[in-house]
Amino acid sequence: QLPEQENLVYFNIKEQRTQFDINRDHTAFWLPGDYDSQEYDYTTSKLTEIRGLMSTAVTPNVSQSPFSDTGVQTALMLKTVDSLYINLHEAALVEYPCMHLELDDNTLIFESHLTPDAIGNKGYMQSPRSTPWRTVIASDNAADILMSRITLNLNEPCTYEDTEWIKPVKYIGVWWEMITGKSSWAYSDLKSIQLGETDFTKIESNGRHAANTTHVKEYLDFAAEHDFDAVLVEGWNQGWEDWFDNSKDYVFDFTSSYPDFDVDVLREYAKSKGVRLMMHHETSGSSRNYERHMDEAYQFMVDNNYNSVKSGYVGNIIPRGETHSGQWMVNHYLYAIKKAAEYKIMVNAHEAVRPTGLCRTYPNLIGNESARGTEYEAFGGNNPDHTTILPFTRLLGGPMDYTPGIFEPDVSQYNPGNGSKVRTTLARQLALYVTMYSPLQMAADLPETYKKHMDAFQFIKDVGIDWDETKVLEAEPGDFITYARKEKGTGHWFVGRTNDEIARTSEISFDFLDADKRYIATIYSDKSDAHYQTNPKAYQINKFVATSKSELSQYCAPGGGYAISLTVADSRRETRGLKKL
Protein backbone atom coordinates (compact mmCIF):
# COMPACT_ATOMS: atom_id res chain seq x y z
CA GLN A 1 0.00 0.00 0.00
CA LEU A 2 1.39 3.38 -1.04
CA PRO A 3 -0.42 6.01 1.06
CA GLU A 4 -1.10 9.50 -0.17
CA GLN A 5 1.42 11.99 1.24
CA GLU A 6 2.60 15.49 0.48
CA ASN A 7 5.52 14.47 -1.72
CA LEU A 8 4.04 11.28 -3.17
CA VAL A 9 0.84 11.79 -5.16
CA TYR A 10 1.68 11.26 -8.84
CA PHE A 11 4.81 9.25 -9.62
CA ASN A 12 6.36 6.78 -12.04
CA ILE A 13 7.56 3.26 -11.23
CA LYS A 14 11.07 2.75 -12.58
CA GLU A 15 11.53 -0.76 -11.16
CA GLN A 16 10.47 -3.00 -8.31
CA ARG A 17 13.21 -5.12 -6.84
CA THR A 18 11.49 -7.96 -5.03
CA GLN A 19 13.93 -10.85 -4.68
CA PHE A 20 13.43 -14.60 -4.22
CA ASP A 21 16.61 -16.29 -2.94
CA ILE A 22 16.38 -19.82 -4.32
CA ASN A 23 19.79 -20.76 -2.93
CA ARG A 24 20.33 -24.08 -4.72
CA ASP A 25 20.18 -25.39 -8.28
CA HIS A 26 16.62 -26.66 -8.24
CA THR A 27 14.45 -27.95 -11.10
CA ALA A 28 12.23 -25.34 -12.77
CA PHE A 29 9.25 -25.67 -15.09
CA TRP A 30 9.55 -22.43 -16.99
CA LEU A 31 8.47 -20.27 -19.90
CA PRO A 32 10.74 -17.64 -21.48
CA GLY A 33 10.23 -14.15 -20.07
CA ASP A 34 8.36 -12.22 -22.76
CA TYR A 35 6.41 -8.96 -22.71
CA ASP A 36 4.01 -10.17 -25.42
CA SER A 37 3.66 -13.94 -25.56
CA GLN A 38 2.91 -16.71 -23.10
CA GLU A 39 2.32 -19.21 -25.88
CA TYR A 40 5.40 -21.36 -25.41
CA ASP A 41 5.95 -24.97 -24.44
CA TYR A 42 7.36 -25.43 -20.97
CA THR A 43 11.02 -26.26 -20.54
CA THR A 44 12.04 -28.41 -17.57
CA SER A 45 15.62 -27.84 -16.42
CA LYS A 46 17.93 -26.92 -13.59
CA LEU A 47 18.11 -23.20 -12.89
CA THR A 48 21.69 -23.01 -14.12
CA GLU A 49 20.60 -24.48 -17.45
CA ILE A 50 18.07 -21.76 -18.28
CA ARG A 51 20.59 -19.50 -20.04
CA GLY A 52 21.82 -22.27 -22.33
CA LEU A 53 18.30 -23.44 -23.20
CA MET A 54 16.70 -20.04 -23.78
CA SER A 55 17.37 -19.87 -27.52
CA THR A 56 15.51 -23.14 -28.14
CA ALA A 57 12.76 -22.32 -25.63
CA VAL A 58 11.85 -19.14 -27.55
CA THR A 59 9.88 -20.47 -30.50
CA PRO A 60 8.31 -18.26 -33.21
CA ASN A 61 5.12 -16.37 -32.46
CA VAL A 62 3.14 -13.58 -34.12
CA SER A 63 3.96 -11.11 -31.34
CA GLN A 64 6.85 -11.71 -28.97
CA SER A 65 9.32 -9.66 -26.94
CA PRO A 66 11.72 -11.86 -24.97
CA PHE A 67 13.88 -9.66 -22.80
CA SER A 68 16.69 -11.73 -21.28
CA ASP A 69 18.64 -14.97 -21.47
CA THR A 70 17.60 -15.75 -17.89
CA GLY A 71 14.18 -14.09 -17.70
CA VAL A 72 11.19 -16.34 -17.04
CA GLN A 73 7.45 -15.90 -16.55
CA THR A 74 5.24 -16.45 -13.56
CA ALA A 75 3.64 -18.56 -12.32
CA LEU A 76 6.99 -20.32 -11.95
CA MET A 77 6.96 -23.88 -10.61
CA LEU A 78 10.01 -25.28 -8.84
CA LYS A 79 10.93 -28.65 -7.34
CA THR A 80 13.85 -28.49 -4.95
CA VAL A 81 16.62 -31.03 -4.58
CA ASP A 82 14.91 -31.99 -1.30
CA SER A 83 11.58 -32.64 -3.10
CA LEU A 84 9.89 -29.49 -1.87
CA TYR A 85 7.44 -27.89 -4.31
CA ILE A 86 7.50 -24.09 -4.63
CA ASN A 87 5.42 -21.77 -6.77
CA LEU A 88 6.18 -18.07 -7.38
CA HIS A 89 3.52 -15.78 -8.82
CA GLU A 90 1.58 -12.56 -8.25
CA ALA A 91 -2.02 -11.82 -7.31
CA ALA A 92 -4.46 -8.96 -7.93
CA LEU A 93 -2.68 -7.35 -10.90
CA VAL A 94 -4.56 -4.06 -11.21
CA GLU A 95 -3.27 -0.78 -12.74
CA TYR A 96 0.28 -2.12 -12.66
CA PRO A 97 2.62 -3.84 -15.12
CA CYS A 98 2.89 -7.62 -15.17
CA MET A 99 5.83 -9.12 -13.27
CA HIS A 100 8.43 -11.45 -14.74
CA LEU A 101 11.42 -12.94 -12.92
CA GLU A 102 15.07 -12.34 -13.82
CA LEU A 103 17.51 -15.00 -12.61
CA ASP A 104 21.05 -14.23 -11.51
CA ASP A 105 22.45 -17.65 -12.34
CA ASN A 106 25.55 -17.03 -10.26
CA THR A 107 23.74 -16.31 -6.99
CA LEU A 108 20.52 -18.19 -7.91
CA ILE A 109 18.41 -15.21 -6.89
CA PHE A 110 15.31 -14.26 -8.85
CA GLU A 111 14.44 -10.57 -8.98
CA SER A 112 11.14 -9.11 -10.15
CA HIS A 113 11.22 -7.55 -13.60
CA LEU A 114 8.29 -5.32 -14.53
CA THR A 115 7.05 -4.91 -18.11
CA PRO A 116 7.99 -1.47 -19.47
CA ASP A 117 5.80 0.80 -21.57
CA ALA A 118 6.65 2.30 -24.98
CA ILE A 119 9.11 4.82 -23.48
CA GLY A 120 10.64 2.56 -20.84
CA ASN A 121 8.64 3.49 -17.75
CA LYS A 122 7.06 0.68 -15.79
CA GLY A 123 3.99 2.27 -14.27
CA TYR A 124 2.18 5.56 -13.74
CA MET A 125 0.76 5.81 -10.24
CA GLN A 126 -1.46 8.03 -8.14
CA SER A 127 -1.51 7.47 -4.39
CA PRO A 128 -3.08 5.97 -2.42
CA ARG A 129 -2.47 2.81 -4.40
CA SER A 130 -1.89 -0.87 -3.63
CA THR A 131 0.60 -2.84 -5.67
CA PRO A 132 -0.04 -6.48 -6.62
CA TRP A 133 0.78 -9.23 -4.14
CA ARG A 134 3.90 -11.37 -4.62
CA THR A 135 3.03 -14.97 -3.75
CA VAL A 136 5.01 -18.00 -2.61
CA ILE A 137 3.27 -21.36 -2.25
CA ALA A 138 5.37 -24.17 -0.79
CA SER A 139 4.68 -27.75 0.27
CA ASP A 140 6.25 -31.19 0.37
CA ASN A 141 3.11 -32.46 -1.42
CA ALA A 142 2.58 -31.40 -5.04
CA ALA A 143 -1.19 -31.69 -4.62
CA ASP A 144 -1.12 -28.83 -2.11
CA ILE A 145 0.10 -26.47 -4.82
CA LEU A 146 -2.85 -27.41 -7.01
CA MET A 147 -5.32 -27.00 -4.16
CA SER A 148 -4.01 -23.63 -2.99
CA ARG A 149 -6.46 -20.73 -3.29
CA ILE A 150 -4.07 -18.01 -2.16
CA THR A 151 -4.01 -16.33 -5.58
CA LEU A 152 -7.79 -16.02 -5.70
CA ASN A 153 -8.15 -15.11 -2.03
CA LEU A 154 -5.71 -12.20 -2.25
CA ASN A 155 -8.12 -10.53 -4.67
CA GLU A 156 -11.07 -8.46 -3.51
CA PRO A 157 -14.46 -10.21 -3.14
CA CYS A 158 -17.00 -10.06 -5.95
CA THR A 159 -17.84 -6.47 -6.82
CA TYR A 160 -21.23 -7.26 -8.40
CA GLU A 161 -24.46 -7.41 -6.39
CA ASP A 162 -26.25 -9.44 -9.08
CA THR A 163 -24.45 -12.47 -10.50
CA GLU A 164 -27.43 -14.51 -11.69
CA TRP A 165 -26.53 -13.73 -15.30
CA ILE A 166 -23.10 -15.39 -14.95
CA LYS A 167 -23.49 -19.07 -15.86
CA PRO A 168 -21.17 -21.95 -16.80
CA VAL A 169 -21.06 -22.58 -20.54
CA LYS A 170 -20.39 -25.79 -22.47
CA TYR A 171 -20.02 -24.94 -26.15
CA ILE A 172 -18.96 -26.00 -29.62
CA GLY A 173 -17.70 -23.69 -32.31
CA VAL A 174 -16.94 -22.77 -35.88
CA TRP A 175 -13.25 -22.58 -35.04
CA TRP A 176 -11.15 -25.74 -35.33
CA GLU A 177 -11.82 -26.02 -39.04
CA MET A 178 -10.18 -22.61 -39.51
CA ILE A 179 -7.33 -23.35 -37.12
CA THR A 180 -6.45 -26.49 -39.10
CA GLY A 181 -6.68 -24.63 -42.42
CA LYS A 182 -9.73 -26.58 -43.65
CA SER A 183 -11.81 -23.41 -43.83
CA SER A 184 -11.31 -19.64 -43.85
CA TRP A 185 -12.16 -16.80 -41.49
CA ALA A 186 -12.23 -14.40 -44.46
CA TYR A 187 -15.15 -14.17 -46.88
CA SER A 188 -12.96 -13.31 -49.87
CA ASP A 189 -9.37 -13.56 -51.04
CA LEU A 190 -8.86 -9.80 -51.31
CA LYS A 191 -5.51 -8.63 -49.98
CA SER A 192 -6.80 -5.27 -48.76
CA ILE A 193 -10.21 -4.04 -47.62
CA GLN A 194 -11.55 -0.89 -45.97
CA LEU A 195 -14.45 -1.07 -43.56
CA GLY A 196 -17.41 1.00 -44.75
CA GLU A 197 -16.01 1.28 -48.26
CA THR A 198 -15.50 -2.28 -49.50
CA ASP A 199 -18.89 -3.59 -50.69
CA PHE A 200 -18.82 -7.31 -49.95
CA THR A 201 -22.21 -7.85 -51.62
CA LYS A 202 -20.44 -7.25 -54.92
CA ILE A 203 -17.50 -9.54 -54.13
CA GLU A 204 -17.47 -13.27 -54.81
CA SER A 205 -16.97 -15.55 -51.81
CA ASN A 206 -13.82 -17.66 -51.73
CA GLY A 207 -15.94 -20.76 -51.10
CA ARG A 208 -14.05 -21.59 -47.90
CA HIS A 209 -15.76 -19.12 -45.57
CA ALA A 210 -17.04 -21.20 -42.64
CA ALA A 211 -19.17 -18.59 -40.86
CA ASN A 212 -22.07 -18.75 -43.28
CA THR A 213 -25.73 -19.05 -42.31
CA THR A 214 -26.25 -22.59 -43.58
CA HIS A 215 -23.13 -23.98 -41.91
CA VAL A 216 -23.75 -22.22 -38.60
CA LYS A 217 -27.25 -23.72 -38.56
CA GLU A 218 -25.64 -27.16 -38.78
CA TYR A 219 -23.60 -26.39 -35.68
CA LEU A 220 -26.68 -25.06 -33.90
CA ASP A 221 -28.55 -28.27 -34.75
CA PHE A 222 -25.72 -30.38 -33.33
CA ALA A 223 -25.51 -28.24 -30.20
CA ALA A 224 -29.24 -28.49 -29.59
CA GLU A 225 -29.31 -32.26 -30.17
CA HIS A 226 -26.56 -32.80 -27.60
CA ASP A 227 -27.55 -30.19 -24.99
CA PHE A 228 -24.75 -27.68 -25.46
CA ASP A 229 -25.28 -24.15 -24.25
CA ALA A 230 -23.70 -22.16 -27.06
CA VAL A 231 -22.02 -22.09 -30.48
CA LEU A 232 -18.99 -19.87 -31.00
CA VAL A 233 -18.74 -18.42 -34.51
CA GLU A 234 -15.48 -16.87 -35.63
CA GLY A 235 -15.08 -15.07 -38.94
CA TRP A 236 -18.65 -13.73 -39.06
CA ASN A 237 -17.67 -10.07 -39.26
CA GLN A 238 -16.05 -8.01 -41.99
CA GLY A 239 -12.30 -7.37 -41.86
CA TRP A 240 -10.61 -10.78 -41.89
CA GLU A 241 -9.04 -10.33 -45.30
CA ASP A 242 -6.19 -8.15 -44.00
CA TRP A 243 -6.49 -8.42 -40.22
CA PHE A 244 -3.22 -10.21 -39.64
CA ASP A 245 0.23 -8.69 -39.04
CA ASN A 246 -0.45 -5.36 -40.78
CA SER A 247 -0.55 -3.07 -37.73
CA LYS A 248 -3.95 -1.94 -38.94
CA ASP A 249 -5.78 0.33 -36.50
CA TYR A 250 -9.33 0.33 -37.91
CA VAL A 251 -9.39 -3.41 -38.52
CA PHE A 252 -12.86 -4.45 -37.24
CA ASP A 253 -16.00 -2.62 -36.15
CA PHE A 254 -17.53 -5.68 -34.37
CA THR A 255 -21.02 -5.16 -35.83
CA SER A 256 -20.76 -5.47 -39.64
CA SER A 257 -21.37 -9.03 -40.83
CA TYR A 258 -20.33 -10.64 -44.10
CA PRO A 259 -23.20 -11.03 -46.61
CA ASP A 260 -23.44 -14.81 -46.11
CA PHE A 261 -23.92 -14.47 -42.32
CA ASP A 262 -27.51 -13.42 -41.60
CA VAL A 263 -27.55 -12.02 -38.08
CA ASP A 264 -31.34 -11.83 -37.83
CA VAL A 265 -32.00 -15.31 -39.19
CA LEU A 266 -29.37 -16.93 -36.96
CA ARG A 267 -30.53 -15.06 -33.87
CA GLU A 268 -34.05 -16.42 -34.27
CA TYR A 269 -32.86 -19.89 -35.31
CA ALA A 270 -30.64 -20.15 -32.22
CA LYS A 271 -33.56 -19.07 -30.01
CA SER A 272 -35.78 -21.73 -31.56
CA LYS A 273 -33.16 -24.36 -30.71
CA GLY A 274 -32.63 -23.17 -27.13
CA VAL A 275 -28.96 -22.42 -27.87
CA ARG A 276 -27.02 -19.16 -27.63
CA LEU A 277 -24.58 -17.89 -30.19
CA MET A 278 -21.24 -16.89 -28.69
CA MET A 279 -19.72 -13.67 -30.00
CA HIS A 280 -16.14 -13.33 -31.22
CA HIS A 281 -14.24 -10.04 -30.97
CA GLU A 282 -10.79 -10.38 -32.45
CA THR A 283 -8.96 -7.06 -32.10
CA SER A 284 -5.74 -7.89 -33.98
CA GLY A 285 -4.00 -6.16 -31.07
CA SER A 286 -5.71 -2.85 -31.88
CA SER A 287 -7.04 -2.32 -28.39
CA ARG A 288 -7.57 1.39 -28.96
CA ASN A 289 -9.94 0.62 -31.84
CA TYR A 290 -11.75 -1.92 -29.65
CA GLU A 291 -12.35 0.65 -26.92
CA ARG A 292 -13.76 3.09 -29.48
CA HIS A 293 -16.33 0.49 -30.55
CA MET A 294 -16.91 -1.32 -27.27
CA ASP A 295 -20.26 0.13 -26.24
CA GLU A 296 -21.71 -0.33 -29.71
CA ALA A 297 -20.30 -3.87 -29.92
CA TYR A 298 -21.73 -4.94 -26.57
CA GLN A 299 -25.10 -3.38 -27.33
CA PHE A 300 -25.13 -5.28 -30.63
CA MET A 301 -24.64 -8.46 -28.62
CA VAL A 302 -27.52 -7.67 -26.28
CA ASP A 303 -29.80 -6.82 -29.20
CA ASN A 304 -29.02 -10.16 -30.85
CA ASN A 305 -29.22 -12.42 -27.79
CA TYR A 306 -25.49 -12.97 -27.22
CA ASN A 307 -24.40 -13.14 -23.56
CA SER A 308 -20.76 -14.21 -23.88
CA VAL A 309 -17.81 -13.08 -25.96
CA LYS A 310 -14.46 -14.54 -26.85
CA SER A 311 -12.04 -11.65 -27.32
CA GLY A 312 -8.64 -11.93 -28.94
CA TYR A 313 -5.45 -9.87 -29.09
CA VAL A 314 -3.40 -11.55 -31.81
CA GLY A 315 -0.46 -9.46 -33.02
CA ASN A 316 1.47 -6.43 -31.85
CA ILE A 317 -0.41 -3.95 -29.72
CA ILE A 318 -1.79 -0.63 -30.95
CA PRO A 319 -0.94 1.94 -29.51
CA ARG A 320 2.37 0.94 -31.08
CA GLY A 321 5.19 0.27 -28.66
CA GLU A 322 2.87 -1.02 -25.94
CA THR A 323 2.91 -4.74 -25.16
CA HIS A 324 0.43 -7.37 -24.02
CA SER A 325 1.62 -7.34 -20.40
CA GLY A 326 2.39 -3.65 -19.83
CA GLN A 327 0.33 -1.38 -17.61
CA TRP A 328 -1.59 0.11 -20.54
CA MET A 329 -2.93 -3.27 -21.63
CA VAL A 330 -3.48 -4.50 -18.06
CA ASN A 331 -5.79 -1.51 -17.68
CA HIS A 332 -7.47 -2.25 -21.01
CA TYR A 333 -8.30 -5.88 -20.20
CA LEU A 334 -9.97 -4.87 -16.95
CA TYR A 335 -11.81 -2.01 -18.65
CA ALA A 336 -13.26 -4.50 -21.15
CA ILE A 337 -14.41 -6.81 -18.35
CA LYS A 338 -16.06 -4.00 -16.38
CA LYS A 339 -17.70 -2.58 -19.48
CA ALA A 340 -19.01 -6.03 -20.43
CA ALA A 341 -20.58 -6.33 -16.97
CA GLU A 342 -22.63 -3.21 -17.65
CA TYR A 343 -24.29 -5.21 -20.45
CA LYS A 344 -24.36 -8.50 -18.46
CA ILE A 345 -21.85 -10.13 -20.79
CA MET A 346 -19.36 -12.84 -19.85
CA VAL A 347 -15.79 -12.51 -21.21
CA ASN A 348 -13.32 -15.14 -22.38
CA ALA A 349 -10.16 -13.20 -23.21
CA HIS A 350 -7.45 -14.79 -25.37
CA GLU A 351 -3.87 -13.48 -25.71
CA ALA A 352 -4.49 -11.37 -22.59
CA VAL A 353 -2.12 -10.97 -19.65
CA ARG A 354 -1.81 -14.09 -17.50
CA PRO A 355 -4.52 -14.24 -14.82
CA THR A 356 -3.83 -13.33 -11.21
CA GLY A 357 -7.14 -14.20 -9.56
CA LEU A 358 -9.25 -11.26 -10.75
CA CYS A 359 -12.08 -13.64 -11.63
CA ARG A 360 -12.95 -13.59 -7.92
CA THR A 361 -13.66 -9.87 -8.06
CA TYR A 362 -15.07 -9.85 -11.60
CA PRO A 363 -16.66 -13.30 -12.14
CA ASN A 364 -17.89 -12.41 -15.62
CA LEU A 365 -14.25 -13.07 -16.56
CA ILE A 366 -15.38 -16.63 -17.11
CA GLY A 367 -12.22 -17.76 -18.89
CA ASN A 368 -8.86 -16.85 -20.35
CA GLU A 369 -6.43 -18.46 -22.71
CA SER A 370 -3.17 -16.69 -21.74
CA ALA A 371 -1.02 -19.75 -22.43
CA ARG A 372 -0.29 -22.18 -25.22
CA GLY A 373 -3.62 -23.88 -25.87
CA THR A 374 -5.00 -26.59 -28.13
CA GLU A 375 -4.73 -24.40 -31.24
CA TYR A 376 -0.97 -25.04 -31.24
CA GLU A 377 -1.63 -28.72 -31.80
CA ALA A 378 -2.50 -27.66 -35.36
CA PHE A 379 0.63 -25.49 -35.57
CA GLY A 380 3.15 -28.30 -35.01
CA GLY A 381 1.93 -29.66 -31.67
CA ASN A 382 2.38 -29.18 -27.92
CA ASN A 383 4.78 -31.21 -25.82
CA PRO A 384 3.05 -34.28 -24.31
CA ASP A 385 3.80 -33.05 -20.77
CA HIS A 386 2.18 -29.64 -21.37
CA THR A 387 -1.08 -30.41 -19.59
CA THR A 388 0.77 -31.95 -16.64
CA ILE A 389 2.39 -28.55 -15.94
CA LEU A 390 -0.30 -25.96 -16.74
CA PRO A 391 -2.42 -26.69 -13.61
CA PHE A 392 0.70 -25.97 -11.50
CA THR A 393 1.32 -22.66 -13.26
CA ARG A 394 -1.17 -20.89 -15.49
CA LEU A 395 -4.32 -22.27 -13.83
CA LEU A 396 -3.36 -21.02 -10.36
CA GLY A 397 -4.48 -17.56 -11.52
CA GLY A 398 -7.86 -18.54 -12.95
CA PRO A 399 -9.73 -20.83 -15.36
CA MET A 400 -8.32 -21.56 -18.80
CA ASP A 401 -10.20 -21.96 -22.05
CA TYR A 402 -7.88 -24.75 -23.23
CA THR A 403 -10.40 -25.98 -25.87
CA PRO A 404 -10.00 -29.76 -25.46
CA GLY A 405 -11.94 -32.58 -27.10
CA ILE A 406 -9.93 -33.21 -30.28
CA PHE A 407 -10.85 -36.70 -31.52
CA GLU A 408 -9.01 -36.60 -34.86
CA PRO A 409 -5.30 -36.15 -34.02
CA ASP A 410 -4.16 -36.27 -37.66
CA VAL A 411 -4.71 -32.68 -38.81
CA SER A 412 -4.09 -33.65 -42.44
CA GLN A 413 -7.48 -35.38 -42.40
CA TYR A 414 -8.97 -31.87 -42.41
CA ASN A 415 -6.27 -30.12 -44.41
CA PRO A 416 -3.87 -32.27 -46.48
CA GLY A 417 -1.38 -29.41 -46.44
CA ASN A 418 -1.06 -29.45 -42.64
CA GLY A 419 1.05 -32.32 -41.31
CA SER A 420 0.60 -31.47 -37.62
CA LYS A 421 -0.32 -34.21 -35.17
CA VAL A 422 -2.18 -33.59 -31.91
CA ARG A 423 0.14 -35.09 -29.30
CA THR A 424 -2.41 -36.91 -27.20
CA THR A 425 -4.55 -39.99 -27.06
CA LEU A 426 -8.29 -39.66 -27.41
CA ALA A 427 -8.79 -40.82 -23.81
CA ARG A 428 -6.63 -37.98 -22.52
CA GLN A 429 -8.70 -35.46 -24.45
CA LEU A 430 -11.64 -36.55 -22.28
CA ALA A 431 -9.56 -36.29 -19.12
CA LEU A 432 -8.75 -32.65 -19.81
CA TYR A 433 -12.34 -31.64 -19.06
CA VAL A 434 -11.58 -32.57 -15.47
CA THR A 435 -7.89 -31.66 -15.14
CA MET A 436 -8.06 -28.26 -16.89
CA TYR A 437 -10.52 -26.33 -14.75
CA SER A 438 -12.87 -23.91 -16.45
CA PRO A 439 -16.59 -23.13 -16.13
CA LEU A 440 -16.31 -22.45 -19.87
CA GLN A 441 -15.55 -25.69 -21.73
CA MET A 442 -15.43 -26.27 -25.46
CA ALA A 443 -15.89 -29.44 -27.47
CA ALA A 444 -13.38 -28.20 -30.00
CA ASP A 445 -13.48 -30.79 -32.80
CA LEU A 446 -15.89 -30.89 -35.73
CA PRO A 447 -19.38 -32.40 -35.38
CA GLU A 448 -18.64 -34.75 -38.27
CA THR A 449 -15.79 -36.26 -36.24
CA TYR A 450 -17.79 -36.59 -33.03
CA LYS A 451 -20.45 -38.51 -34.94
CA LYS A 452 -17.83 -41.22 -35.59
CA HIS A 453 -17.13 -41.65 -31.86
CA MET A 454 -20.44 -41.08 -30.11
CA ASP A 455 -19.54 -43.56 -27.37
CA ALA A 456 -16.56 -41.42 -26.31
CA PHE A 457 -18.44 -38.19 -27.01
CA GLN A 458 -20.90 -39.24 -24.32
CA PHE A 459 -18.34 -38.27 -21.66
CA ILE A 460 -18.15 -34.71 -23.03
CA LYS A 461 -21.94 -34.52 -22.90
CA ASP A 462 -22.04 -35.85 -19.33
CA VAL A 463 -19.07 -34.13 -17.69
CA GLY A 464 -19.73 -31.27 -15.32
CA ILE A 465 -18.15 -27.85 -15.71
CA ASP A 466 -18.94 -26.41 -12.28
CA TRP A 467 -17.96 -28.17 -9.07
CA ASP A 468 -18.87 -28.56 -5.40
CA GLU A 469 -15.71 -30.44 -4.42
CA THR A 470 -12.26 -31.05 -5.86
CA LYS A 471 -9.70 -33.70 -4.85
CA VAL A 472 -6.19 -34.23 -6.18
CA LEU A 473 -5.60 -37.98 -6.19
CA GLU A 474 -2.12 -38.01 -7.78
CA ALA A 475 0.21 -35.25 -8.91
CA GLU A 476 3.77 -34.73 -10.06
CA PRO A 477 4.56 -31.67 -12.21
CA GLY A 478 5.72 -32.63 -15.68
CA ASP A 479 4.64 -36.26 -15.23
CA PHE A 480 0.96 -36.70 -14.33
CA ILE A 481 -2.08 -35.25 -12.57
CA THR A 482 -5.25 -37.06 -11.47
CA TYR A 483 -8.23 -35.00 -10.28
CA ALA A 484 -11.62 -36.03 -8.90
CA ARG A 485 -14.38 -33.42 -8.97
CA LYS A 486 -17.96 -33.50 -7.72
CA GLU A 487 -20.41 -31.79 -10.03
CA LYS A 488 -22.33 -28.94 -8.48
CA GLY A 489 -25.84 -29.87 -7.45
CA THR A 490 -25.95 -33.44 -8.84
CA GLY A 491 -23.80 -35.68 -6.63
CA HIS A 492 -22.01 -37.03 -9.73
CA TRP A 493 -18.22 -37.35 -9.61
CA PHE A 494 -15.78 -37.18 -12.51
CA VAL A 495 -12.14 -38.27 -12.56
CA GLY A 496 -9.50 -37.20 -15.07
CA ARG A 497 -5.88 -38.25 -15.49
CA THR A 498 -3.39 -36.55 -17.82
CA ASN A 499 -0.08 -38.31 -18.48
CA ASP A 500 3.23 -37.26 -20.03
CA GLU A 501 5.17 -39.10 -22.75
CA ILE A 502 6.02 -42.07 -20.49
CA ALA A 503 3.67 -45.03 -20.02
CA ARG A 504 2.56 -45.22 -16.38
CA THR A 505 0.07 -46.98 -14.14
CA SER A 506 -2.28 -44.84 -12.09
CA GLU A 507 -3.22 -46.12 -8.63
CA ILE A 508 -6.22 -44.41 -7.03
CA SER A 509 -8.73 -44.98 -4.27
CA PHE A 510 -12.39 -44.00 -4.43
CA ASP A 511 -12.55 -43.09 -0.75
CA PHE A 512 -13.88 -39.64 -1.72
CA LEU A 513 -17.26 -41.23 -2.58
CA ASP A 514 -20.16 -41.28 -0.12
CA ALA A 515 -19.81 -44.39 2.05
CA ASP A 516 -23.52 -45.25 1.90
CA LYS A 517 -23.88 -45.14 -1.88
CA ARG A 518 -23.08 -47.32 -4.87
CA TYR A 519 -21.96 -45.74 -8.12
CA ILE A 520 -21.81 -46.75 -11.76
CA ALA A 521 -18.25 -46.06 -12.89
CA THR A 522 -17.81 -45.61 -16.65
CA ILE A 523 -14.09 -45.67 -17.45
CA TYR A 524 -12.79 -44.22 -20.73
CA SER A 525 -9.17 -45.36 -20.99
CA ASP A 526 -6.25 -46.06 -23.31
CA LYS A 527 -6.02 -49.52 -24.81
CA SER A 528 -2.81 -51.43 -24.11
CA ASP A 529 -1.42 -50.54 -27.55
CA ALA A 530 -2.39 -46.85 -27.44
CA HIS A 531 0.32 -44.26 -28.01
CA TYR A 532 0.02 -40.57 -28.79
CA GLN A 533 2.29 -40.95 -31.83
CA THR A 534 1.38 -44.32 -33.32
CA ASN A 535 -2.11 -45.26 -32.11
CA PRO A 536 -3.81 -42.26 -30.51
CA LYS A 537 -7.42 -43.30 -31.13
CA ALA A 538 -7.12 -46.67 -29.36
CA TYR A 539 -9.53 -46.34 -26.44
CA GLN A 540 -11.88 -48.57 -24.51
CA ILE A 541 -14.96 -48.01 -22.37
CA ASN A 542 -15.82 -50.23 -19.41
CA LYS A 543 -18.44 -50.07 -16.69
CA PHE A 544 -18.13 -51.18 -13.09
CA VAL A 545 -19.79 -50.78 -9.72
CA ALA A 546 -17.77 -48.52 -7.41
CA THR A 547 -18.03 -47.70 -3.72
CA SER A 548 -15.92 -45.69 -1.30
CA LYS A 549 -13.87 -48.86 -0.72
CA SER A 550 -13.03 -49.36 -4.40
CA GLU A 551 -9.54 -49.01 -5.83
CA LEU A 552 -8.28 -48.77 -9.40
CA SER A 553 -5.01 -49.64 -11.09
CA GLN A 554 -5.23 -48.13 -14.57
CA TYR A 555 -2.71 -48.17 -17.42
CA CYS A 556 -1.95 -44.80 -19.02
CA ALA A 557 -0.33 -44.76 -22.44
CA PRO A 558 2.40 -42.32 -23.48
CA GLY A 559 0.60 -39.01 -23.96
CA GLY A 560 -2.50 -40.67 -22.62
CA GLY A 561 -4.72 -40.81 -19.59
CA TYR A 562 -8.26 -41.69 -18.65
CA ALA A 563 -11.61 -40.22 -17.68
CA ILE A 564 -14.26 -41.65 -15.37
CA SER A 565 -17.86 -40.67 -14.77
CA LEU A 566 -19.40 -41.80 -11.47
CA THR A 567 -23.17 -41.62 -11.18
CA VAL A 568 -25.19 -42.73 -8.17
CA ALA A 569 -26.98 -46.05 -8.71
CA ASP A 570 -30.51 -45.69 -7.35
CA SER A 571 -31.32 -49.38 -7.50
CA ARG A 572 -29.66 -52.79 -7.64
CA ARG A 573 -31.20 -53.32 -11.06
CA GLU A 574 -29.01 -50.57 -12.53
CA THR A 575 -25.84 -52.40 -11.49
CA ARG A 576 -26.94 -55.93 -12.40
CA GLY A 577 -24.22 -57.72 -14.36
CA LEU A 578 -21.51 -55.15 -13.59
CA LYS A 579 -18.31 -56.20 -11.86
CA LYS A 580 -17.19 -54.41 -8.71
CA LEU A 581 -14.03 -52.33 -8.60
Catalytic residues: 375
Reduce the secondary structure of 389-411 to three states and give it as a string.
Answer: CHHHCHHHHCCECCCCCCCCCEH
Query: 96 pairs with which residues across the strands?
Result: none
Residue 18: what are its φ and ψ, rounded to 5°?
-75, 130
Measured CA to CA, the distance from residue 560 to residue 388 in angstroms comes to 11
The closest alpha carbon to 483, from 434, 549, 523, belongs to 434
Measured CA to CA, the distance from residue 405 to residue 461 in angstroms comes to 11
CA angle (567 as vertex; 566, 572 as ends), nearest 5:
120
Query: 315 pairs with which residues across the strands?
Result: none
Measured CA to CA, the distance from residue 342 to residue 338 in angstroms comes to 7
Measured CA to CA, the distance from residue 152 to residue 5 in angstroms comes to 30
Please state whether 247 falls in left (phi above 0), alpha (psi between -120 and 50) or beta: left
The closest alpha carbon to 515, from 572, 568, 576, belongs to 568
CB atoms within 10 A of CB 321: 14
Measured CA to CA, the distance from residue 355 to residue 398 in angstroms comes to 6
Residue 390: what are its φ and ψ, rounded to 5°?
-50, -40
Measured CA to CA, the distance from residue 404 to residue 421 in angstroms comes to 14
